[in-house]
A = this chain, B = another copy of it.
């Protein structure tokens, strides 16, 4: 049994990590850090945990770090900036959810986050925590930067085709839709029920930070600088994400060939499910789980491939992936505690 400290346990990502640890046979939550709810029972903040845990929310800071085998931080970038160096300095192994350590080049971070990167040395040690692409480096990592939800959903959908150079690196369009929990446990007016229910909208058009994560990873896969058009949207659902990705095929491929390629590429990946021809992913097939479902359609008239990928933004897009990485760090089978089918209904 490994002990895990979650710092930032009462946000939506944090509490999903807590939920997954609760059902995990080899991990135990031993510390629930939360600045907002210090001293309160976690089960008072999230009453679905009543009767299942008597852990209390506790204060923490760089000078006051609890003992644990592993650390997961689900904090604002500002807070991660102070905490992570202290953790790493004490030799701890950390999975971080901020944007701070997701970039090979700090300049990319600085450009998209409009702020100076103050921890360039630490950044060098960080590994991008997408197991299907970086499993080996993750297994030895001290600091893992858990990918954003949109990047996870986009990169895995593009990886086989782009790394095999079967699509043009020009003109890739990623049109993405997220459930509202992706914004975190915010109280701003735009996230109020009456403002989002029966609504649908785009946001951050041409400026969303996750664009740069996607570009970094697919550029690396094809070994060429790639830029993409990325547009996120908000749909009136709690959890779930669908990416619709458009790319130009370099040759005349049938959908079946491409699907065969994907099945082969991901043949050892438990969490990647490639759909048979004619089937399309739906958010409800992955909500509550750590799976990513990928379907492909070829538009012969345009020689374009449309790749559709679905994840739970809190699952494979955040907390589920964090636990998958924890499994790797701890040397456990990767699907341990993560083989839930989610809730269809």
Contact = CB atoms under 8 A, between A and B. Distances in A.
Interface of A: 12, 15-16, 19, 22-23, 46-52, 171, 173, 175, 177, 179-181, 185-189, 191-203, 205-206, 227, 229, 231, 233, 235-240, 242, 244, 246, 248, 270, 273, 279-289, 291, 293, 297-302, 304, 306, 308, 314, 339-345
Nearest to A298: B206
Given A177-B200, A199-B283, 16 more contacts: A16-B345, A22-B340, A48-B343, A50-B293, A181-B194, A185-B194, A193-B193, A193-B236, A198-B283, A200-B240, A205-B306, A227-B302, A229-B246, A233-B242, A288-B343, A314-B345
A-B CB proximity, top 7 nearest: A206-B299, A175-B175, A201-B282, A199-B284, A205-B297, A47-B285, A200-B283
A188 to B, nearest CB: 7
A24 B195 CA distance: 26
Given A189-B185, A242-B201, A50 B273 contact: yes
29 contacts: A15-B344, A22-B341, A47-B285, A47-B293, A48-B285, A48-B286, A48-B289, A50-B285, A52-B341, A177-B233, A180-B197, A185-B189, A191-B192, A191-B193, A193-B195, A197-B197, A197-B238, A198-B239, A198-B240, A198-B287, A199-B240, A200-B242, A200-B282, A201-B280, A201-B281, A202-B242, A202-B244, A205-B308, A229-B299
Most buried by B among A189, A206, A301: A206
B343 A227 contact: no
Copies of the chain in the assembly? 4
Contacts of A280: 201-203, 205
Contacts of A206: 297-301, 306
Given A175-B244, A244-B202, A306 B48 contact: no
A302 B52 contact: no
Most buried by B among A281, A285, A289: A285
B282 A47 contact: yes
A345 B179 CA distance: 11
Contact of A193 (B196, B288, B297): B196
A266 to B, nearest CB: 11
Nearest to A340: B23
A74 to B, nearest CB: 13
Given A280-B202, A288-B343, A197 B297 contact: no
Given A48-B286, A189-B185, A227-B302, A177 B180 contact: no
Contact of A200 (B47, B186, B187, B237): B237
Most buried by B among A177, A202, A203: A202
A344 B288 CA distance: 11
A12 to B, nearest CB: 6
A310 B101 CA distance: 37
Contact of A12 (B194, B297, B342): B194
Contacts of A242: 200-202, 233
